[in-house]
């Protein structure tokens, strides 16, 4: 992470309690299920990674500064070029209105940041991410820190030692990466997101 947008330094963070969204315990509030099924947004993957990254770094209410500084931005763009970082994007009338991005290693996806310019856009992106992860055989969704926003989806705090025990086998999994990119309807996104991982992949 960076201390601020204009601070060129990077430091590593290893929290004692890690935010994790258990894929088998993923929860979608009923109102959000209806919204995902209604398909208010076109959901795309990696068509505007840099734009998603920049939107996540932009000031927002309650978040005037960002940890995404210049060096971090360059590193994420390089990871995207290597096929290791991906963006899930929500579009409306050809405008990017929300999304998230993260890094994938083996069967683990490390969610980095998300943003919304339309109500629930980042939440719809998260449901699509989980659906595609389950369909493709991923096993771990790292959310870094537990927030009230993520807790509604079933996110929990996991002691770092337990987290590392779960991470090790996930890194050895080889998911079906094309599943991340294949189009999926809102109805199927809800279906896959709520399936046990053993049945979804």
Mean pLDDT over 10-14 rounds to 67
191 domain-assigned: yes
pLDDT at residue 144 in the model: 84
Mean pLDDT over 152-173 rounds to 93
Percent of the chain exceeding pLDDT 70 equals: 88
Structural domains counted in the chain: 1
Angle at 90 between CA 87 and CA 91, to 5 degrees: 125
Give me the CATH number covering residue 146: 3.40.630.70
12 domain-assigned: no
Element of type H or E holding 72: helix 70-81
5 domain-assigned: no
pLDDT at residue 8 in the model: 63
91 domain-assigned: yes
CA distance 124 to 77: 23
pLDDT digits (tens, 9 = 90+) for 81-111: 999 999 999 999 999 999 999 999 999 999 9
pLDDT digits (tens, 9 = 90+) for 60-83: 665 555 666 778 888 999 999 999
Q: Which domain holds residue 148?
A: 17-200
137 domain-assigned: yes
Q: Which of 3-12, 53-62, 148-157, 186-195 has the highest mean pLDDT?
A: 186-195
Q: For residue 200, how many other CB atoms are within 10 A of its CB?
A: 22
Q: Locate 17 and state its tokens.
A: 């309690």
């Amino acid at each position: 992470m960076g201390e601020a947008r204009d601070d060129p330094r990077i430091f590593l963070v290893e929290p004692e309690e890690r935010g994790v969204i258990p894929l088998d315990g993923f929860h979608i509030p009923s109102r959000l299920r209806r919204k995902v099924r209604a398909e208010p947004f076109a959901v795309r993957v990696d068509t505007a990674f840099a734009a998603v990254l920049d939107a996540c770094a932009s000031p927002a209410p309650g978040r005037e500064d960002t940890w995404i500084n210049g060096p971090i931005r360059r590193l994420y763009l390089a990871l995207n070029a290597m096929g290791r970082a991906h963006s899930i994007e929500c579009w409306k009338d050809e405008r990017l209105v929300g999304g998230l991005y993260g890094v994938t290693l083996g069967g683990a996806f490390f969610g980095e940041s998300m943003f919304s310019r339309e109500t629930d856009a980042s939440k719809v992106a998260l449901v699509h991410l989980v659906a595609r992860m389950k369909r493709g055989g991923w096993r771990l969704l790292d959310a870094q820190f537990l927030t009230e926003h993520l807790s509604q989806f079933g996110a929990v705090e996991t002691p770092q030692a337990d987290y590392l025990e779960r991470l090790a086998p996930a890194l050895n999994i080889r998911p079906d990466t094309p599943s991340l990119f294949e189009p999926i309807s809102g109805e199927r996104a809800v279906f896959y997101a709520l399936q046990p991982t053993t049945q979804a992949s």
